């Protein structure tokens, strides 16, 4: 799934999501005074422009007032699971909802001060589908990320440095070696003229095994057939 270009966050509409973390960001001073910021980190069923799992982070005031946005959000999550918790209890811990699978309605809003568009959770949709009923692509993104598995194969632990597991990394290296093996430098005595930029000289890359063989210009990167280069 690809994101809409208008926003670098979740696209508008209904999304399956999993609550990953509640982050206490401390007290901040805003336009209307001080507020205690709680950031809710959700893993959505979309990928970002780099193909990585997309996280949506919402910042709320830490308030249990029935009219507060955080309370409304927690109420929707609680109702999704049959109201197992008393949200008004002094000992209630929002971390109980970590790994909860919910459905959210997302819309885009424009911040005139920052001159940017951001994603906002309008509501939690009660009566969500179970995780197994998700589309295969969404299910793979959510389950593999939560389990720390490779997004490509889903079999082995992911290595952050490679953004994949060791087996997929080795396979990628093998494919790169095969590609390199097919690229053979021509003799220093072989001169050709590029059909694109008219460069004449040596250093053309010869892609062996293609019918007809292809020459790549070292100057502009243009490609031409062996029979067309002169």
> Is the sign of the CA dihedral 79, 84, 90, 96 positive or negative?
negative
Q: Which of the two residues, 55 and 180, has the higher pLDDT score?
A: 55
Query: What count of other Cβ atoms lies within 10 Å of the Cβ of residue 125?
Result: 16
pLDDT of residue 60: 92
Residue with tokens 């008004």: 88
The answer to whether residue 40 scores a pLDDT higher than 90 is yes
**1 near 47, Cβ under 8 Å?**
yes
Q: Give the confidence band of 141 by pLDDT, cuts at 50, 70, 90.
A: low
pLDDT of residue 134: 47
Verdict on whether the full-model pTM lies above 0.85:
no
- Secondary structure letter of residue 51 according to DSSP: S
Q: Which of the two residues, 209 and 202, has the higher pLDDT score?
A: 202
| Of 29-38, 110-119, 135-144, 154-163, the least confident | 135-144
Q: Which two tokens stand for residue 60?
A: 């709320």
H or E segment and range at residue 108: strand 101-111
| Of 37-41, 54-58, 100-104, 116-120, the least confident | 116-120
């Amino acid at each position: 799934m690809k994101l809409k270009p208008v926003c670098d966050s979740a696209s508008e509409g209904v999304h399956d999501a999993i609550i990953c973390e509640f982050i206490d960001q401390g007290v901040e001073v805003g336009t209307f005074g001080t507020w205690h910021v709680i950031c809710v980190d959700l893993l959505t069923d979309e990928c970002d422009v780099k193909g990585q799992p997309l996280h949506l982070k919402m910042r709320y005031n830490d308030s249990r007032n029935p009219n507060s946005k955080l309370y409304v959000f927690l109420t929707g999550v609680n109702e999704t699971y049959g109201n197992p918790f008393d949200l008004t209890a002094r000992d209630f811990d929002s971390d109980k909802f970590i790994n909860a699978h919910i459905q959210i309605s997302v819309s885009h809003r424009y911040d005139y001060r920052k001159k940017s568009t951001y994603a906002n959770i309008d509501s939690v949709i009660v009566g969500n589908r179970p995780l197994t009923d998700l589309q295969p692509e969404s299910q793979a993104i959510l389950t593999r990320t939560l389990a720390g598995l490779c997004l490509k194969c889903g079999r082995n632990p992911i290595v952050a440095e490679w953004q994949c597991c060791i087996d997929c990394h080795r396979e990628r290296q093998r494919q790169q070696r095969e590609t390199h093996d097919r690229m053979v430098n021509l003799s220093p005595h072989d001169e050709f003229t590029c059909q694109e930029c008219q460069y004449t000289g040596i250093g053309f890359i010869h892609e062996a095994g293609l019918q007809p063989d292809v020459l790549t210009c070292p100057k502009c990167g243009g490609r031409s057939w062996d029979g067309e280069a002169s």
